[in-house]
Amino acid sequence: MKKQFKDEKTRRKTMKKTADEANYMLSDENTEGSTGASSVPVPMPDLPLPASFTSDNPTHRYRYLDSTNPWLVRPVLDTQGWDHDVGYEGINVERSFMVKHKYPVSFSGQITKDKKDTNIQTELASSLKHGSGKATSLAFDMQTVGNDIYCTLCGETRFINFFNNKAITGLSITLLDDVLAAGLKVEDKMIVNKRFCVVMTGGAMTAHGDIAYGGSLEAQWKDKDYLLNNSLSTLGVSIMDWHGDHVIRCNVQSHVRIGRSTNVIAQADLNNRGTGQVSIRISSSEQIQLALVALFPLMKKLIGYPQRMLYGPL
């Protein structure tokens, strides 16, 4: 086990060194490019054409250039278009830039149109760091839902109070037609040691004068060789209250790695209404014969299907 840990540590160091060298070479190329003449726009690779492509259509409709322009404009392919149609139903626009050389901002928008409807989707996001261990991210999203416009404004602030404590608080406001909904979330993560941590979450959401509350408590326990086998166990409890109706749910999950290529994930949950589920999932990259185990319930289902058709469910 120590030898595996040492090999894994050496491999990660090698990957980090290779990534640093690649970033250094890329920065050198960018410096040389900025000092030289501006690059000439070049045509981008052709996008796949629809199956019913008509050769009489002008080819320039399917071409676009990659230039130094910060705005990235691309066509949107319609995979389920009409026969003998152009095959593209809209455009996509993206751009990332800095405000006052400190605040990164990203913008993306997409407009699609067919013979009946026009859909618009835009997203604007930014983040700013204020003080040590504090950062705030903001996002605005607008899109069309049928004939209405769906707008969402959300923000999140992260605090690192101590080296073993992280807190997150967030607020979101959503407007759809004449319905206004608002939500608040508070989360606190306490790292007890390298193997054990506790996450506490609480929040509330209101719309039309109704308020729903919810909260959860989750504990994670990592294996001592977590870096090698990714084995961990999780125990969580959640509660929700809406109009005096309480729903309490308990969830247990365990992830165990057997050997180098087999993973076993077991999960069980139960609520106060007496319903729940139990699941076991096995995945392997070498033991392909394990997939044959899934054939037994499938064959049983197929064999019993004619009987249910004749006599009905038992």
Q: What is the dihedral of CA 53, 55, 56, 59, to 10 degrees?
A: 90
Output the six-digit token pair for 307: 């009987």
Using CA atoms, how far apart are residues 165 and 172, in angstroms rounded to an integer? 24
- pLDDT the model gives residue 185: 94
pLDDT for the residue 146: 80
Judgement on whether residues 140 and 241 belong to the same structural domain of the protein? no
| Per-residue confidence (pLDDT) for residue 42, from 0 to 100 | 62
Whether 179 and 247 map to the same domain: the answer is: no
Question: Does residue 178 sit in the same domain as residue 103?
Answer: no
Number of domains into which the chain is organized: 3
CATH number of the domain at 162, please: 2.20.25
Range list of β-strands (E), the chain: 42-43, 65-66, 72-77, 88-99, 103-113, 118-129, 134-145, 148-162, 165-176, 179-191, 196-207, 210-222, 232-242, 245-258, 262-271, 276-284
**φ, ψ for residue 273, nearest 5 deg:** -90, 5
Choosing from 162, 191, 220, the residue where a domain stops is: 191
Residues 6+ apart with CB under 8 A from 21: none
What pLDDT is stored for residue 34 in this prediction? 44
Q: Give the predicted TM-score (pTM) of the model.
A: 0.63
Give the number of other CB atoms < 10 A from CB of residue 6: 10
* 255 inside domain: yes
Q: Are residues 198 and 243 in the same domain?
A: yes
In a domain, 34, yes or no: no
Q: Indicate the residue type of 4.
A: Q
Q: Is 30 a member of any domain?
A: no
Residues 203 and 242: their CA atoms lie apart, in Å, by 12
* DSSP characters over 27-47: HHHHHHHHHSPPPPPEEPPPP
Q: What is the pLDDT of residue 283?
A: 79
- Angle, vertex CA 277, rays to CA 273 and CA 280, nearest 5: 165
Q: Which residues contact 292 (CB under 8 A, 6 or more apart)?
A: none
Can you point out the beta strands (E) in 192-231?
196-207, 210-222
User: Is 211 part of a structural domain of the chain?
Assistant: yes
Question: Is there a single domain that holds both residue 198 and residue 292?
Answer: yes
Tell whether 77 and 87 lie within a shared domain: yes
User: What is the residue range of 162's domain?
Assistant: 130-191
Residue-level pLDDT at 38 = 47
Tens place of pLDDT per residue across the chain (314 aa): 555 556 666 766 776 666 665 555 444 444 444 444 445 666 666 666 555 555 555 555 556 666 677 888 887 777 676 666 666 778 889 998 888 888 899 999 999 887 778 889 999 999 988 877 889 999 999 998 888 888 999 999 998 877 788 899 999 999 988 889 999 999 999 988 888 999 999 999 998 888 999 999 999 998 887 777 778 899 999 999 988 888 999 999 999 888 777 888 999 999 988 889 999 887 777 756 656 666 677 777 777 766 666 665 55
Is residue 186 within 8 A of residue 192, CB to CB? The reply is no
- Token couple for 30: 């960018």
